[in-house]
Amino acid sequence: MNQIDLPHLDQQICACRLCPLFLERNLAVPGSGPAPADIMLVGEAPGKEEDLTGKPFVGRAGRLLDAALERAGLERSRVFITSVIKCRPPQNRKPKKKEIERCRPYLQSQIEILHPKIICLMGNTAAQAVLGRQGIADLRGRILEDRYLVTFHPAAVLRNRNLMDDFVSDLKMLNTGGLRLV
Ligand code: SF4
C-alpha cells in the first residue's frame, strides 16, 4: 500500500470490501486520535457500540480503558486508538487469520503515517498480528523491539478486575517513555 494521508486512509477503510466482514458491518472503525501521535493503542476489533458509532473503544471495554488511562495519568486525547481489524466480527467472535491478513496493511499504514514512539498492543490478537508472538504474561511489562509494549486487552480486564492494577501499571509506562516507575 502506497503511503497516503490519514483522512484518505480512513476513507479507504470505510469503503473497504477486502474481507467478508464488510457484509455485516454498520460502520468500519478506522481509529481516532492525534496525528502524528507519540502513543498508539491497538486492540483486537470493534464491538457492537463501535460498529454503530464508527468510533474505537466506546463500549464497556472502552469505558474501562478510559478509567485505566486516567489512573495512568494519560489523557485519551493524547493517544491514537485503533484495532487490528477495522470491522466488527459477527457476535464479537475472534477475527480469523485471513481477516487479519487482509486488514493488517491498514494498521501498518497508520503506523507509518503517525510515527508513534511507542505502540501498545492490547491482547494476544494485536501482539500476534504485529509481533508474531502471543502470551501476555510473558510479553507484558517491558519494551519489545524498541517501541512495543504488550498488555491485556481491556475486555480481559472487564472479565477479571484483578488485572486492573497491572493494566494501569503497563499504561503508565506509555507515559514515561517505556520506563516502569516504582
Ligand atoms: S475488516 Fe478490514 S479488510 Fe475486512 S472489510 Fe473491514 S477494513 Fe476491509
For residues 44 and 28, is the Cβ–Cβ distance under 8 A? no
180 pLDDT higher than 80: no
Ligand 1 pocket, residue 102 CB under 6 Å = yes
Does residue 85 belong to any structural domain of this protein?
yes
Q: Which domain holds residue 50?
A: 6-175
- Cα–Cα dist 105/119, whole Å: 16
Does residue 80 belong to any structural domain of this protein?
yes
Does residue 161 belong to any structural domain of this protein?
yes
Domain count, the chain: 1
Average pLDDT over residues 117-140: 96
Q: Which of 17, 14, 23 is nearest to 54 (CA)?
A: 14
How far, in Å, from the CA of 23 to the mean position of ligand 1?
10
Of the pLDDT bands very low, low, confident and very high (cuts 50, 70, 90), residue 56 is: very high
pLDDT digits (tens, 9 = 90+) for 62-119: 999 999 999 999 999 999 999 999 999 999 999 999 999 999 999 999 999 999 999 9
Does residue 48 belong to any structural domain of this protein?
yes
How far, in Å, from the CA of 44 to the mean position of ligand 1?
13
Of the pLDDT bands very low, low, confident and very high (cuts 50, 70, 90), residue 182 is: very low
Q: Which of 42, 63, 78 is nearest to 151 (CA)?
A: 42
Does residue 36 belong to any structural domain of this protein?
yes
pLDDT digits (tens, 9 = 90+) for 149-170: 999 999 999 999 999 999 999 9
Ligand 1 pocket, residue 85 CB under 6 Å = yes
Does residue 55 belong to any structural domain of this protein?
yes
The pTM for the full model equals: 0.95
Does residue 181 belong to any structural domain of this protein?
no
Does residue 1 belong to any structural domain of this protein?
no
For the residues of 41-103, what is the DSSP string, one character each?
EEES---HHHHHHS-SS-SHHHHHHHHHHHHTT--GGGEEEEES-SSPPGGGPPPPHHHHHHH
Ligand 1 pocket, residue 9 CB under 6 Å = no
CATH no. for residue 86?
3.40.470.10
**Least trusted range by pLDDT, from 14-23, 41-50, 162-171, 172-181:** 172-181
How far, in Å, from the CA of 141 to the mean position of ligand 1?
31
Ligand 1 pocket, residue 139 CB under 6 Å = no
